[in-house]
Chains A and B, each alone.
Chain A
Amino acid sequence: MRSYLSDRMGAALLMAPLLLFLVLAYAWPFLGVVKWSFTLPTPGLGQYEALLTDDLVQSVFIRTLRIAAIVTVVSVAAAYAITVVWVRGTPAQRLIAEFCILVPFWISVLTRAFGWVALLSNRGLINTWLQAIGFISEPLALVRNEFGVIVGMTHFLIPFAVFPLASAMRSLDDRVLLAARGLGSSRMRTFWTVFVPMTRSGIIGAAMIVFVFSLGFFVTPAILGGGRSVMIAELIYLRIFQSPDWGLGAAISVVLVLFVGALMALLFRYVRPKQLI
């Protein structure tokens, strides 16, 4: 009993700095944001009514959901392929996959966004090459639009989708795959009817993580969207820093936090936290 209590005390002490930091740096200021949403410019529910009627806010919300959905599908599909190689490939393949997963983690999100601009812009590498080989005459619009945003975000989020998928694939019993082959199933069929369904929890976890991250993305859409493909986080920034609309910005923030909170609650009904890492 004594050691149990002291273990718990020890754990609590170790956790305390993080909890304190979260309360001081996130929870407390967020309460201030909630307060703004009900008090600025005048007290009342005016800002939430505006959310429901403002066309700009609504179109940004819809665009954010659409981009997040596309990014989720593409990231999880790409991450699935990489993870299969990483978990089940030959030692050399594993090393290459690991490299592809880890290197993006070491490079700042800003650097990577500008890297994509260098590749995708009108006078960037891709357009220049395609024009040089005569494949196109006019540059393709690859950036400063939704396409650029999706490419940049997908690239950033793939590693986050890899870990829950790897966890699901590692816990899979190899004998079940052998059994499928032994019963006459081709490799393709075994993959689609046995392997993929058995990693379902990993797919759900990966999709939820990528979707939730996408909803709050700021730097990548701001740079690769070039102001034409504004997502919800950028809209909040614009409302607070470039217009006196603090109340509306705060109301959007509150709605976003509630929405993400609801998604996380849904996620943890299907997937245990330890399956996500």
Chain B
Amino acid sequence: MQQPGRAAEIKAIGIGKSFGSFRALDNLSLDIGRGEFLTLLGPSGSGKTTFLMILAGFVQPTEGKLFSDGVDITDRPAEQRAAGMVFQGYALFPHMSVEANIAFPLKVRKKSAADIKRRVGEMIERVGLKGHEKKLPAQLSGGQQQRVALARALVFEPGVLLLDEPFSALDKGLRGQMQAEMKRLHQETGTTFVFVTHDQSEALALSSRVAIFNHGKLLQVGAPDEVYDRPDNRFVAEFLGEINMLPLKGVKPAGNGSTGLCEDRAVSMGCKAEAVRGDAILAIRPEYMSISGEAADGENGIAATATNSTYLGAATRLDLMTRQGAKVTVSVPNEVAAAALSKGNSVWLTWPAEKGFLLPHGGQ
């Protein structure tokens, strides 16, 4: 984080943090690659913000080490790390104009007046705040304040930009616009971005990798499609979106994948039954399931009855129940839903083998 203009590479080894008897973060090891866009995702109290504050240097870890470009920065105070940071609520200096806010980190670094003027001007242009230079933060809209916060955090070309739920105060339309803007800034600056959010769709849309936290533990790190399609555990599977879970018996390896019995019918999975044997849970995202009159031999399928439907405009959300009482939700074209409901009796739910994955029975 110390070389301006160059994206930093961060390595956290065995980071832990306790506040009294509360364990906020437990034995976290994570490599953040040069120039990547990493999202820390989790519910509130999961430890994601604590980890961001440790990266910024505002919170001292109880144990573990932190390296930036190979240099140990565990004990380095925040003002010497100088990571760019965008706070929740922006934390702009209320008594300074837009221009003065953005110039602040450059003045601290004793840049020449001409240099400051040029770089602040460029940054104002880049985030689209031209014409607002002399205004105070209170005179700006939420989205404009957000841009000032981004400009102020990026103007000194930090090795890493840390963002703490920056969009939580914006309405939906503006949020989408700012997300696009942030993605563009990431590409233009090439800086390492570490972004905290509790919004899974935001995480999947923006990041090159997502790190999922719960109860102070890092559960899984991976590319968005990786964590979405192949979650390691039930929490990750459920947190990233809707998921249908069917009880599975007699799971055993078969070729490159595995097989098992789902309500007395043989089904196959594309994934290997590594940790899982015997009883397990078969998890399938609703969008990968379809409805048909019957399932062909060898096709993955389960019989179910439609119980309820919700019209969503583009599609209909259909709730079904299997013969043994498992609840399944799918999103299907409106006419398919109508047909399924009108039949009143059983339909077949089918899915491709590679879209189902195994989770251990019971716990997380």
A184 touches B156 (CB 8 A): yes
Query: Looking at chain A's contact residues, is the secondary structure mostly helix, strand, loop, or mixed?
Result: helix
A182 touches B82 (CB 8 A): yes
Chain A residues lying within 8 Å of B83, measured Cβ to Cβ, are: 182
Check: B91 CB closer than 8 A to any chain A CB.
yes
Check: B93 CB closer than 8 A to any chain A CB.
yes
Known: A197-B95, A198-B94. A180 touches B89 (CB 8 A): no
Interface residues of A in 161-201 (CB under 8 A from B): 173, 175-176, 178-187, 189, 193-194, 197-198, 200
Chain A residues lying within 8 Å of B57, measured Cβ to Cβ, are: 182
B58 touches A180 (CB 8 A): no
- Complex Cα distance, B109 from A200, in Å, reads 26
Interface residues of B in 25-81 (CB under 8 A from A): 56-58, 77-80
Known: A184-B82, A185-B79. A178 touches B58 (CB 8 A): yes
* A-B contacts, CB under 8 A, total: 66
Check: B108 CB closer than 8 A to any chain A CB.
yes
Tell me, rounded to whole Å, the shortest Cβ–Cβ distance linking A26 to chain B: 39
Chain A residues lying within 8 Å of B109, measured Cβ to Cβ, are: 184
**For residue A178, which residue of chain B has the nearest CB?**
B58
Known: A185-B104, A185-B108, A189-B108. A180 touches B93 (CB 8 A): yes
- Complex Cα distance, B92 from A186, in Å, reads 17
Interface residues of B in 311-357 (CB under 8 A from A): none
| 10 further A-B pairs in the complex, CB-CB below 8 A; given A178-B85, A182-B83 | A179-B85, A179-B87, A180-B93, A181-B77, A182-B56, A182-B57, A182-B78, A182-B82, A184-B105, A185-B105
Check: B285 CB closer than 8 A to any chain A CB.
no
Chain B residues lying within 8 Å of A200, measured Cβ to Cβ, are: 95
Interface bracket on A: 10 to 19
Chain A residues lying within 8 Å of B77, measured Cβ to Cβ, are: 181
B95 touches A182 (CB 8 A): no
Check: B152 CB closer than 8 A to any chain A CB.
yes
One digit per residue, 1 when the CB lies within 8 angstroms of any chain B CB and 0 when it does not, for chain A 111-127 equals 00000000000000000
- Complex Cα distance, B92 from A256, in Å, reads 43
A183 touches B94 (CB 8 A): no
Tell me, rounded to whole Å, the shortest Cβ–Cβ distance linking B76 to chain A: 12
One digit per residue, 1 when the CB lies within 8 angstroms of any chain A CB and 0 when it does not, for chain B 87-101 equals 111011111000000
Known: A175-B87, A175-B89, A176-B91. A183 touches B82 (CB 8 A): yes
A184 touches B91 (CB 8 A): no
A180 touches B104 (CB 8 A): yes
